[in-house]
Homo-oligomer: A and B are copies of this chain.
């Protein structure tokens, strides 16, 4: 096998995560070890930076700079919401050719995998040797093939810690608390709220994910049952939760704004939380009802990272460089769970990850559709790593004197 000499190009696409720069640092530092790599370029703002040739030369970034960026959340190379079509990908390919790029690593979700697939095809059709690797990243955990996605574990840890705190707060001053979590089609991130439960009466008492349609009647019945049982109720709900018509309940409240992918805006608004808390106040006549929308903190909060996630995000970046430069392969880096808890990495064809996203398996959701199962808990627990300690006072009750 002849050695393919040329440049490496790295870019980051889609929503940032807490560990996306671990993958960047992994890919860059590993690439710089190979003598056939002439330069390592980074494109600013993802694919839009490629077609505009907005590159920085990461060959000249210090290792210490890359290591400091690695622990900084949100795309160090900045990002884009562009979702390239074939013509756009042809532009990408032309720029790669002009700059003698022979290795292209794109860190992103299933749309980014599709970009990788098309660019790879264009190069192949033109007879130009271009190795293309998709490096997985998403807080939604909705990529096919891989056991889980880098970025998910840290976001899941944030959600779990947010609900652990909300549960303690709700226990101190009882009422109904609704926390809205990111996730348009996949409920993985919302489901991670289950890790907030330690004591048997801890919340979230109810968890709703987009995979299971809900009705207003079911929701209010569930909240009432929990409130009657515990004197309080904590609810975790996905922003993308749907009604019986399979349409997002939040969608009618967003003023019709759509992102560049044609999707209705669900995040960055408190509308769904306010709608659900309105239902509880008006129909159940419960006075203290509060709704929070966890919002962009879930993917960007500084200082809440899963160690496992951080480690794996680094390794998928390193593996991308190894698969492409050592082994001359194209594909998407995926994670296989091999033990409890151990993993190995493998390369899956780009078309197996591109475009179509995945959802939670049915065995992860209880039949009633209002909570997650032990199977899911076992799946998610290793991914978030250690949770901070939570403890309740343990002391005997004192006999009353005046109110005997």
Contacts and interface: CB of A to CB of B under 8 A. Distances in A.
A222 to B, nearest CB: 20
B41 A71 contact: no
A68 interface: yes
A31 interface: no
Interface in A308-350: none
Which of A301, A387, A401 has most B Cβ within 10 Å? Answer: A301
A375 interface: no
Interface string A293-308: 1111101111110000
Contacts of A57: 395-398
A400 interface: yes
A402 B292 contact: no
Q: How many copies does the complex hold?
A: 2
Given A16-B173, A173-B15, A173-B80, A58 B270 contact: no
Nearest to A91: B402
A1 interface: no
Given A69-B393, A290-B267, A392-B76, A168 B42 contact: no
In this complex, the member of A72, A274, A295 whose beta carbon has the largest number of chain B beta carbons within 10 angstroms is A295
A95 to B, nearest CB: 6
Interface stretch (A109-117, A125-133, A157-165, A207-215): A157-165
B172 A396 contact: no
A277 interface: yes
Contact of A397 (B56, B94, B292, B302): B56
A171 to B, nearest CB: 7
Interface residues of A, number: 90
Contacts of A257: 281, 287
A184 to B, nearest CB: 15
A390 B277 contact: no
A168 B72 contact: yes
Contacts of A75: 172
A302 B72 contact: no
Contacts of A287: 257
Nearest to A163: B302
Contacts of A390: 72, 302
A192 to B, nearest CB: 13
A277 B76 CA distance: 26
Contacts of A65: 391, 393-395
24 contacts: A53-B400, A54-B397, A57-B395, A61-B394, A66-B393, A68-B389, A69-B392, A69-B393, A71-B391, A72-B168, A74-B172, A79-B172, A80-B173, A99-B398, A165-B296, A165-B300, A168-B300, A177-B268, A177-B296, A257-B287, A269-B274, A291-B295, A292-B295, A297-B297
Given A69-B393, A270-B293, A297-B297, 12 more contacts: A53-B400, A53-B403, A56-B393, A65-B391, A68-B391, A72-B391, A77-B393, A78-B172, A161-B301, A169-B296, A169-B299, A177-B296
